[in-house]
């Protein structure tokens, strides 16, 4: 079987997710054979019974503690520290809710080993809905080159070189999903998804998890019964609940909108460079 890494993308400010994440991981994916890497900035971490490597990417790269490295820069540093060429990408608030179908995931992994042209393989039906029939079997669909959310941060197998090619250090996770989707279209590589008439959420999940346990830096209410079921204790008051969150007024959101517009413009030049030079 192809040696693969599992990258749990996180940061030190989300360390309250790590204990519930790995407890549920150990419970619901006991036969996982991927190597676990936790993206931390400076912090160390371990979990009983699991071989977890904390990457400490900012410490490794001598990044000043009084500054914050961008989301994309941290992901790039993490990928550069991982020796495996195929990465299963998840995030620290993707809390497993059901047993993982390891046999099916390893079958998909074997397919990627056989077909190096496959650059990304989404393992849930949560990504966008425009596909073509795939030559890799009826259980897989090929994603349309120009569809929205071709690139997403949901659970997927990735070629490490593809992720590195579409990352840009200036971007956060939301910028990345939107803009890297356009860059991936310029490259035109093969992206697959599990067929939605086969692996359907709530009916037949290969990898079933809370889609995001935290939004706007606050806990989503749906994690509460899950944690209670497994005897997981979390101080929810530390970051609060999503139901109590209020959208900031427009004038406070305006500076961010201007920054994003600038990134869109830069991304157009990125795409042009890819089309002209392949990079």
Residues 6+ apart with CB under 8 A from 115: 136
CA atoms within 13 A on the CB side of 143: 30
Other C-beta atoms lying within 10 Å of the C-beta of residue 242: 18
CA–CA separation, 210 vs 21, rounded Å? 11
Q: How much is the pLDDT for 187?
A: 95
Q: How much is the pLDDT for 58?
A: 98
How far CA 22 is from CA of 12, 17, 188, 200, in Å, comes to: 15, 9, 35, 25
CA–CA separation, 158 vs 175, rounded Å? 19
On whether the CB atoms of residues 241 and 213 are closer than 8 A, the answer is: no
Q: What is the pLDDT of residues 94-107, one digit of tens each?
A: 999 999 999 999 99
Q: How much is the pLDDT for 133?
A: 83
Q: Which of 125-129, 194-198, 230-234, 251-255 has the highest mean pLDDT?
A: 230-234
Q: How much is the pLDDT for 130?
A: 67
Q: What is the pLDDT of residues 65-86, one digit of tens each?
A: 999 999 999 999 999 999 999 9
Q: Is this prediction's pTM over 0.85?
A: yes
Q: What is the average pLDDT across 232-256?
A: 82
């Amino acid at each position: 079987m192809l040696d693969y890494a599992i990258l749990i993308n996180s940061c030190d400010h989300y360390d309250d997710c790590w204990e519930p994440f790995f407890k549920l991981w150990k419970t619901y994916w006991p036969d996982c054979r991927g190597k676990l890497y936790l993206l931390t900035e400076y912090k160390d971490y371990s979990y009983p019974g699991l071989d977890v490597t904390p990457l400490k990417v900012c410490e490794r790269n001598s990044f000043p503690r009084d500054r914050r490295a961008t989301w994309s820069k941290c992901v790039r540093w993490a990928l550069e520290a991982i020796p495996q060429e195929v990465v299963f990408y998840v995030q620290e608030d993707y809390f497993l809710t059901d047993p993982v179908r390891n046999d099916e995931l390893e079958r998909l992994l074997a397919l990627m080993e056989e077909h190096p042209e496959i650059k990304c393989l989404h393992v849930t039906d949560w990504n966008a809905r425009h596909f073509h029939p795939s030559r890799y079997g009826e259980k897989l669909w090929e994603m349309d080159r120009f569809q929205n959310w071709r690139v997403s941060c949901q659970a997927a197998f990735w070629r490490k070189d593809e992720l590195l090619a579409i990352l840009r250090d200036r971007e956060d996770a939301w910028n990345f999903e939107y803009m890297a989707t356009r860059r991936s279209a310029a490259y035109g590589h093969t992206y697959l998804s599990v067929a939605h008439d086969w692996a359907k959420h709530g009916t037949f999940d290969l990898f079933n998890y809370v889609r995001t346990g935290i939004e706007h830096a606050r806990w989503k209410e749906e994690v509460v019964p899950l944690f209670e079921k497994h005897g997981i204790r979390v101080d929810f008051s530390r970051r609060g609940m999503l139901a109590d969150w209020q959208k900031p007024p427009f004038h406070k959101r305006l500076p961010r909108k201007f920054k994003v517009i600038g990134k869109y413009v830069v991304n157009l030049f990125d795409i042009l460079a890819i089309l002209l030079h392949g990079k």
